[in-house]
A and B are shown apart, each in its own frame.
Chain A
């Protein structure tokens, strides 16, 4: 990307050039070593999921040296269906949470960034205060509250508490603040109300902020363990992390099955990541998340 090594080589002194080359090679070696270290555990898990359970039980050496290549564990999981159910729960709760977060946070941020009204500063401060209140502090009150609403053991119990995200409002507001005012002036002169302004002008310009908030909200919701662990006890409604953590699908030492289920549960997110890889960095760059 920013190709540093290409920087004006002609005018550099020879010693600097060779020093740079050595340095760059060194950099590459170090980075490759770390990248391999980072990929290895996942690769090992994938390999384990593709051997027989009996091979996996014999330990790492046997797995690495094994000639097995079987989808046996995956087929068993599909037949049994738990992981699919959990993925469905995770998908529904994550998608709904993302949509509701995007809508509510961007609307609130629009009001705070673009509209003038009395008490705006106070409202903004109250929202900012939410950034320092971690949801983890609220699990006990949430449980009693959602119990009183009769919503425990529904997807809503997982979704609703995760929707009001002060950080999302903050990110959107930062982004909206940075949009040039001139674009909307024309629209206002033409008599557009705030809704039109929000829907037709500000939102379409906010793609990067939307994708950043969406992607991270999705990952965080999909992977959240603590709250769904408390909110949902029905195995059919559990999300992937809760299901993997509490339900025992198989008996005895079935490491291959265990690895297969943990990989299957992570697969939707990995695919999503592959598709949106560039968006993640883009979103981070343009939303001021980088500081």
Chain B
């Protein structure tokens, strides 16, 4: 595979070159390097994006050949008038609001604490990162078992201290919170590792200097650690926002979208593959894409203003 794709650039090495980079002007080499990625990128990213855009103007059905009939903006107007679509969009946003702040802050706090404690670094990293490598289905099965009403682990623990546990995944007042909690447990490790890596880059001398000036541990953290982590925090926030907006797995697995939890991606899945309405699902995808773009754009603006360096 590798050999076949990269054979062409092995043309006779271009002789005498005056620049520091190899002489490539007017040469095919750069394009040959770009080709393998470029072809797949066209076939599976740019092409499908355009195709999805086209589909969103047709009443294409999963079980009928061809595009079907053009319906203009019909799919979009129907979606914008659909309570189901709006509630799914609302659920995705709700999930994002429930998860992003706590996932950004708690992982930061834990990383700072672990870094400060110093000893047992590897053990803590293991503990916090382990859930992140579990498949969503494993996470869902474990937690559905723990969250079982009455006989489940959590209900038992709460029962022991006299608290009557709700039916976590069945009660709309709790289901999304429960899923957000599971997600916190599942994905915190990723942010934690990003923070930990950044923390280890902070020169020790800074703390020493501060200590000489009589700064206590709390001041050291507040004056040195947090300010120096602000670029990492911006990145983690952005990654987390986008990751949260893409929520599908754990909700599909744990509630199938019941109890007011269906996220917009499940709406797309249900519409396109369960209801066979491919055109409408494409339109919903496009609106969802718009949301992602909007959030990315807003984040870009916000960080640009604060720190032009962050994004570049």
Contacts and interface: CB of A to CB of B under 8 A. Distances in A.
Contacts of A121: none
Contact of A31 (B25, B110, B137): B110
Interface of B: 1-2, 5-6, 9-15, 17, 19-22, 24-25, 27, 29-31, 33-34, 36-38, 40-41, 43-49, 51-52, 55, 110, 113-118, 121-138, 140-143, 145-146, 148, 150-153, 155-157, 185, 188, 193-202, 204, 207-208, 211-212, 214, 216-218, 220, 231-236, 242, 246, 248-249, 252-253, 265, 268-269, 272-273, 278, 281-282, 285-286, 288-289, 292-293, 296, 310
Given A126-B46, A164-B44, 10 more contacts: A7-B204, A8-B212, A103-B1, A137-B289, A141-B48, A164-B37, A195-B10, A285-B200, A291-B235, A291-B236
Contact of A138 (B45, B133, B146, B202): B45
7 contacts: A31-B114, A117-B24, A163-B40, A164-B37, A184-B20, A225-B253, A263-B138
B134 A116 contact: no
A160 B1 CA distance: 14
B142 A259 contact: yes
Contacts of A274: 126
Interface in A197-250: 197-199, 219, 222-223, 225-226, 230, 240-245
Contacts of B12: 193
A29 B293 CA distance: 42
A184 B19 CA distance: 11
B216 A269 contact: no
B34 A2 contact: no
B45 A130 contact: yes
Nearest to A34: B110
Contact of B156 (A8, A61, A269, A281): A61
Nearest to B205: A7
A140 B52 contact: yes
B79 to A, nearest CB: 14
Contacts of A140: 52, 55, 268, 272, 278, 281-282, 285
A125 to B, nearest CB: 13
B216 A60 contact: no
B193 A195 contact: no
A265 to B, nearest CB: 6
B145 A38 contact: no
B141 A4 contact: no
A290 B197 contact: yes
A244 B308 CA distance: 45
B33 A115 contact: yes
Contact of B146 (A20, A41, A230): A41
Nearest to A255: B145
B127 A290 contact: no
Nearest to B247: A136
A108 B38 contact: yes
Given A4-B207, A58-B151, A225 B24 contact: no
The 7 closest A-B pairs by CB, nearest first: A59-B151, A244-B137, A291-B235, A141-B48, A193-B13, A111-B33, A108-B37
Interface in A17-40: 19-20, 23-24, 27-28, 30-31, 34-35, 38-39
A24 B10 contact: no
A51 interface: no
A28 B117 contact: yes
B63 to A, nearest CB: 12
Given A31-B110, A116-B25, A226-B249, A291 B310 contact: yes
Contacts, number: 370
A92 interface: no
A199 B157 CA distance: 57
Which applies to chain A's interface (DSSP): helix, strand, loop or mixed? helix
A134 B6 CA distance: 28
- Which size bracket describes the interface of A in this complex? 35 or more
Contacts of B132: 219
Contacts of B138: 45, 244, 262-263, 265-266
A78 interface: no
B217 to A, nearest CB: 4
Given A2-B115, A115-B33, A45 B145 contact: yes
Interface string A1-20: 11111011001110010011
A160 B17 contact: no
Interface in A260-291: 262-263, 265-266, 269-270, 272-274, 277, 280-281, 284-285, 289-291
B137 A241 contact: yes
Contact of B9 (A132, A139, A193, A219): A193
A230 to B, nearest CB: 6
Nearest to B12: A193
B217 A19 contact: yes
A12 B215 CA distance: 10
B117 A24 contact: yes
Given A35-B127, A245-B137, A280 B249 contact: no
A1 B145 contact: no
Nearest to A269: B133
A166 B113 contact: no
A72 interface: no
A197 B128 contact: no
Given A8-B211, A108-B38, A230 B273 contact: yes
Nearest to A31: B113
Given A137-B285, A219-B133, A259-B145, A194 B22 contact: yes
A193 B15 CA distance: 9
